[in-house]
Amino acid sequence: MTRFNALNLVKNALTGHKNWTEQWPDSQPKTEYDVVIVGAGGHGLGAAYYLAKQHGITNVAVIDKGWLGGGNTGRNTTIIRSNYLYDESARLFDHALDLWQDLSQELNYNVMYSNRGCLMLAHTVHDVQSFKRHVHSNRLNGVDNRWLTPQECKEYCPPINIAPDARYPVMGGALQERAGTARHDAVAWGYARGAAERGVDIIQNCAVTAIRRHPDGSVAGVETEKGFIKAKKVAVSASGHNSMVMETAGVRLPLESTPLQALVSEPVKPIFPCVVMSNAVHAYCSQSDKGELVIGSGTDQYVSYSQRGGLPLIEHTVAAISEVFPIFNRMRMLRKWGGIVDNTPDRSAIIGKTPVQNLYVNCGWGTGGFKATPGAAHTLAWTVAKDEPHPINAPFTLDRFRTGRLIDEAAAAAVAH
Amino acid sequence: MIQIHCPYCGETLPELEFAYAGEAHIVRPESPSEQTDEEWAAFLFLRDNVKGPHFERWRHAHGCGRFFNAVRNTITDRFYITYKAGEPRPDLAKLLEESK
C-alpha cells in the first residue's frame, strides 16, 4: 500500500486523488490461523499489529461482529493520560503514554495525538489532599504531574471559573502536561492498516458465536457466522461483550457491563486549550480540532447493553459543565451516544492468560480503555506470543480476584478514570 | 427516563428515586469458614452480566428505603416485573409470555 509522505501526497493531488491504494482489504476468513483475535477495536487491532511487527506472527485474524473501530474505540472522549495512583496502573498507562508519543510516525498514519495537558480540578480540602497525594505518587513513579494554584489553573485554561463564591470553588489542580487527546478513529485505522500490511486478515461483520475447545481443554478455534475457524491461540478483546464470549469457553469473568455516555456540542472557535476533569462535580471536557466540546458523562448504575444510556446522567453532566465553565452554559449540544463498557470490581483491567490453555483475555477496561490502547495492545501481543505475561501486565491477572491482590483504582479515583 | 414500580409503595416512579443494588438471588454462604478461595471469589465478584432478562435488586432510596427485586431486559431496559424481597424468583418463561 502507498506510504503517506509529501511526495505521494503531491503525486496523488496531481492525479485527482484517484490512485490511492486500498488501506486494508476486507478479508474473508481462512480455515486456520495461528492467532484469532476477537474484537477489531484499537486494542485488538493493535495487538495484531504488534504480533506481526514485533513477534513475527503474521498468520493472524482479527474478527469483529460489526465494522472495525465501531465499538468503544469510536465512542470515547479520546482523553489520554497516565496519572494513576497505584504503581501497577502508573506503569501500564505510562507505558501506553510512551507509545503514544511517536505512534503517528510508527504507523505512518496521523493519529493526531496532541499533548495539550490534562488538568484535574480540586474543589474540596479532601480533593486537594488526594490530588497532591496523586502528584507525589506519580512523580515517584516517574510520571509527570504537578500541582497548580487556582490562579495558575486559570492561566492554563482561561474558561475555568475560579471565583471563590462558586458553588464548587476551584482550590487548585493537578496538571499532567504529557496527557492530551488523539483522534480515536485514526488509531483503529492506523493499526488496521499496519497489521494488514504485514499479512493480518481483518474480518468484519462476522460475529464470533462461541469459542470451541479440544477434549483436553485447550482452545480449538472459534465458531463464527461464517463457519468454524481453527486457531492455535485465541485472544478476546470485545469490551462490553467480553463476558458473553468468554462464557462460551467456560470462563466466567468478574465483569458487569454498563453504558457509558458522552456528548458533543455545536462546533465553535478554539477556546478550550486542554483537557479538564473535575471528579467531584463529575464534569470532564476538551475541545476537538473540529471545534466541538467533547464532554464525558457517566455510566448508568445498572447492567445494560442498550448503547444509549439514561437521560438523567446527561442532565447531571450538563449541569456540572455549566457550573464549572459558566461561559458554556448557553452552548447547544449536538449529539450524545453510549458505549457498553465492561467493569471489574476493582476498576482495573485484566490482561493475560486464562484457566483455558491458549486462550487470552484483554478485558475490564471499564471507562478508561482508550488511553491505554497502545500499551494494552503491546502487552497483550507479548503475552499471546510468549504465553507469559509482560512485566507490565503481570499484576493485571484474573487470579487477583481469588488471591485478593486487587489493584483498587475504584477507591483511588472515585470516579472518571 | 425509566419508570420503576416500587412493590412496597405501590407507585410507579422515576428511576432517580431508586438505587441499583446488583444481581438478585445471590445467597450468602451458610458456613463462611468452610468456603474455599474460589467459592469466595465467585460469591463476591462473579455475576451473570446477562444480555436479556436480568434478575436484579433495587432500593427505593428516596422513598420507603426498602430493597426489592426486579426482572428487567438489559437490551431495552424494560422492566417485566418488580417484587418484594424474599418472594421466590418468578418463572421467566411465563413472564416473557405475559409481556408480549
- Which of A257, A305, A406 to substitute to test the interface with B, most B CBs within 10 Å? A305
Grid cell of A325 as nine digits: 465553565
Question: What is the arithmetic mean of pLDDT over A45-67?
Answer: 98
Strand boundaries in A187-255, DSSP class E: 201-203, 208-213, 219-224, 227-236
Q: Which amino acid is at A157?
A: C
Phi-psi region of A373 (alpha: psi -120 to 50; beta: other; left: phi over 0): alpha
Whole-number pLDDT of residue B5: 98
pLDDT category of residue A280 using cuts at 50, 70 and 90? confident
Whole-number pLDDT of residue A412: 63
Grid cell of B5 as nine digits: 414500580
| Per-residue pLDDT tens digits for A84-113 | 999 999 999 999 999 999 999 999 999 999
Q: Which amino acid is at A405?
A: R
Look over chain A and give the mean of its residue pLDDT values, rounded to a whole number: 95
User: Checking DSSP bridges between strand B3-6 and strand B11-14, what pairing results, if any?
Assistant: antiparallel
CATH class given for the domain over A26-82+84-109+183-254+346-413: alpha beta
| Per-residue pLDDT tens digits for A116-135 | 999 999 999 999 999 999 99
Question: What is the arithmetic mean of pLDDT over A274-287?
Answer: 91
CB-based contact (8 Å) between A303 and chain B?
Answer: yes
Query: Which segments in chain B show pLDDT lower than 70?
Result: none
Beta bridge partners of A61: A36, A201
| Minimal CA separation from A301 to chain B, in Å | 6
Whole-number pLDDT of residue A274: 97
Whole-number pLDDT of residue A414: 46
- Helical packing angle, A184-197 and A42-55, nearest 10°: 30
Q: Which residues of B touch A (CB under 8 A)?
A: 1-2, 15-16, 19-20, 23, 37-38, 40-42, 44-47, 49-51, 54, 56, 72, 74-77
Ordered by start, the domain boundaries in chain A are 26-82+84-109+183-254+346-413, 118-177+257-343
Our separate counts of H helices and E strands in chain A read 12, 18
User: Which residue carries 468452610 as its cell?
Assistant: B34
Question: What is the arithmetic mean of pLDDT over A384-398?
Answer: 97
Grid cell of A143 as nine digits: 510520571
- Which of B35, B49, B75, B76 to substitute to test the interface with A, most A CBs within 10 Å? B49
Residues from chain A contacting residue B49 (CB–CB below 8 Å) = 243-244, 255-257, 303
Question: What is the arithmetic mean of pLDDT over A332-351?
Answer: 95
State whether B20 and A302 contact (CB < 8 Å): yes
Residue A416 has pLDDT above 60, yes or no: no
Query: What three-state secondary structure class fits B38?
Result: helix
Q: Are A299 and A331 contacting, i.e. CB atoms less than 8 angstroms apart?
A: no
Q: Which residues of A233-246 are buried (b: 16+ CB within 10 A; e: fewer)?
A: bbbbbbbbbbbbbb
Task: For chains A and B, count residue pairs whose Cβ atoms are closer than 8 Å.
Answer: 60
CB-based contact (8 Å) between A401 and chain B?
Answer: yes
Q: Are B14 and B5 contacting, i.e. CB atoms less than 8 angstroms apart?
A: no
| Per-residue pLDDT tens digits for A220-251 | 999 999 999 999 999 999 999 999 999 999 99
Find the radius of gyration of the CA atoms of chain B: 15
Residues from chain B contacting residue A341 (CB–CB below 8 Å) = none
Beta bridge partners of A227: A224
pLDDT category of residue A411 using cuts at 50, 70 and 90? low
Vertex A78: Cα angle to A394 and A273 (nearest 5): 125
Same fold: A26-82+84-109+183-254+346-413 with A118-177+257-343: no
**CATH T-level assignment (fold) for domain A118-177+257-343:** D-Amino Acid Oxidase; Chain A, domain 2 (3.30.9)
Q: Could you report the predicted ipTM of this complex, rounded to two decimals? A: 0.95
To which H or E segment does residue A321 belong? helix A311-324
Grid cell of A169 as nine digits: 470553588
Domains in chain B with CATH codes: 3-25+45-98 (3.30.2270.10)
Whole-number pLDDT of residue A60: 98
